[in-house]
């Protein structure tokens, strides 16, 4: 099948798009990939939906803005896809299936016997109607209902991507997005995964909160700051880091309050150290020693994060591009792959990746 995958991360930067040809088991070919920046109007609505989601009591009706935001996200995806496909000499009928992750506005892991909650906004039925193609979406809910974490979901794709490159186990794939997550491939079909801690999300919130831009472009603030190791230790005292994997996070699970006394540059350097040290702790907790770590996601564009990872991890740290991967498109490719697996009824989450009781499929498919 030729599948178009859409991904919008918590950085609220762009709609990422990638086409792959796959049967949900193997990647048969890589089609084009690209992105389209989110409009300010959509970004503003998503930010308000996120604000309301964070204040949404369990058991209460969902905020009314969710419906509006879901429609805007679908329309934004369609507009992005129209331009992207036209630029590539393709059209909607050339696709067999679309995979849309949707925009995460809330993610709560299971706690004290209570199931988790996860919300990805995106009107799959509207996107299907606009595009005229079947759309797979809502990939996380079934896992959460079954007692899983609902994240991370990309590990089964990381395995397929590594195999498509002829790589061998043991290796690790580290995605540094708003939150950082790692996939360990130990051999055969054996994968384990979890969120290690923050990725870019806290740095973005820090920079935005101090009126210094939307993110620390090129690590310019962190590069001239000095990490406060006392603050790093305080952040690492969060009980999340003692919890056994698999486990998952929301980008808002950690507070910026411990950084308030620090200058912007020092605060940014401290968060870089926090991100890298959390990854190191995750590797130590798993007791895994992969031959290398392949880094994808926006965090690999921050030289300070890459330096910190290389300094703390005992194995080589490579970028996705070092193996010919499209580092900015990995998650869009992943949700194209997961859409194909959902279409085929294949599992997308596993006991060692989300903590669900047994391998299970997920996602809903709507047709025009």
Task: Show pLDDT as tens, one digit a residue, over the chain (368 residues).
Answer: 999 999 999 888 999 999 999 999 999 999 999 999 999 999 999 999 999 999 999 999 999 999 999 999 999 999 999 999 999 999 999 999 999 999 999 999 998 888 999 999 999 999 999 999 999 999 999 999 999 999 999 999 999 999 999 999 999 999 999 999 999 999 999 999 999 999 999 999 999 999 999 999 999 999 999 999 999 999 999 999 999 999 999 989 999 999 999 999 999 999 999 999 999 999 999 987 899 999 999 999 999 999 999 999 999 999 999 999 999 999 999 999 999 999 999 999 999 999 999 999 999 999 99
CATH 3.10.350.10 for domain 2-151+329-366, yes or no, is no
Question: Whole-structure pTM over 0.75, yes or no?
Answer: yes
Scan for tokens 């899983």, then name that residue: 148
Note the pLDDT tens digit of each residue in 287-301. 878 999 999 999 999
Distance CA 77, CA 69 (A): 12
CB atoms within 10 A of CB 114: 10
- In sequence order, which residues have a C-beta less than 8 Å from that of residue 220 and are 6 or more positions away? none
Position 288 scores a pLDDT of 78
Nearest to 353 by CA among 173, 221, 118: 173
Greatest CA separation found in the chain? 56
pLDDT at residue 295, as a whole number: 98
**Do residues 22 and 1 touch, judged by C-beta distance below 8 A?**
yes
What is the pLDDT, as a whole number, of residue 130? 98
Domain ranges of the chain: 2-151+329-366, 166-323
Q: Are 97 and 31 in contact (CB under 8 A)?
A: no
Spatial distance between the Cα atoms of 62 and 147, rounded to a whole number of angstroms: 21
pLDDT at 11: 86
Alpha-carbon Rg of the chain, whole angstroms?
19
CA distances from 305 to 2, 27, 175, 216 (A): 35, 30, 12, 11
Domains 2-151+329-366 and 166-323 share a fold: yes
Distance (Å, whole) CA 271 – CA 176: 13
Question: Is the CATH number of domain 166-323 3.30.420.40?
Answer: yes
Contact in structure between 191 and 183 (CB atoms under 8 Å): yes
Residue 251: per-residue pLDDT: 85
pLDDT at 41: 96
């Amino acid at each position: 099948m030729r599948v178009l995958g859409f991904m919008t991360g918590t950085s609220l930067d762009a709609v990422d798009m990638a086409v792959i040809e796959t049967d949900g088991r193997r990647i048969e070919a890589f089609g084009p990939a690209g992105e389209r920046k989110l409009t300010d109007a959509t970004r503003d609505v998503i930010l308000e939906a996120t604000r309301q989601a964070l204040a949404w009591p369990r058991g209460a009706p969902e905020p009314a803005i969710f419906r509006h935001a879901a429609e805007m996200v679908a329309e934004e995806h369609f507009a992005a896809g129209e331009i992207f496909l036209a630029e590539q000499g393709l059209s909607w009928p050339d696709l067999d299936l679309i995979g849309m992750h949707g925009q995460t506005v809330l993610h709560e892991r299971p706690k004290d016997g209570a199931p988790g909650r996860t919300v990805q906004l995106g009107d799959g039925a509207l996107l299907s109607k606009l595009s005229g193609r079947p759309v797979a979406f809502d990939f996380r809910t079934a896992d959460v209902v079954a007692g899983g974490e609902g994240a991370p979901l990309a590990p089964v794709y990381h395995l397929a991507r590594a195999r498509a490159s002829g790589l061998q186990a043991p290796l690790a794939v580290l995605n540094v997005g708003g939150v950082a997550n790692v996939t360990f491939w130990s051999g055969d079909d054996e994968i384990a995964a979890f969120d290690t801690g923050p990725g870019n999300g806290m740095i973005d919130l820090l920079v935005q909160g101090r009126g210094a831009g939307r993110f620390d472009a090129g690590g310019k603030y962190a590069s001239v700051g000095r990490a406060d190791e006392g603050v790093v230790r305080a952040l690492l005292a969060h009980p999340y880091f003692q919890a056994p994997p698999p486990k998952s996070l929301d980008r808002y699970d950690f507070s910026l309050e411990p950084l308030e006394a620090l200058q912007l540059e020092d605060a940014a350097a401290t968060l870089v150290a926090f991100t890298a040290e959390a990854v190191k702790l995750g590797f130590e907790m798993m007791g895994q020693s992969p031959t290398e770590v392949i880094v994808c996601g926006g965090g690999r564009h921050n030289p300070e994060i890459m330096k910190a990872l290389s300094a703390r991890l005992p194995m080589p740290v490579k970028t996705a591009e070092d193996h010919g991967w499209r580092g900015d498109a990995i998650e869009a490719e992943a949700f194209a792959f997961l859409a194909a697996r959902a279409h085929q009824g294949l599992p997308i989450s596993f006991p060692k990746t989300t903590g669900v009781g047994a391998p299970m499929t997920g996602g809903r498919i709507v047709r025009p």
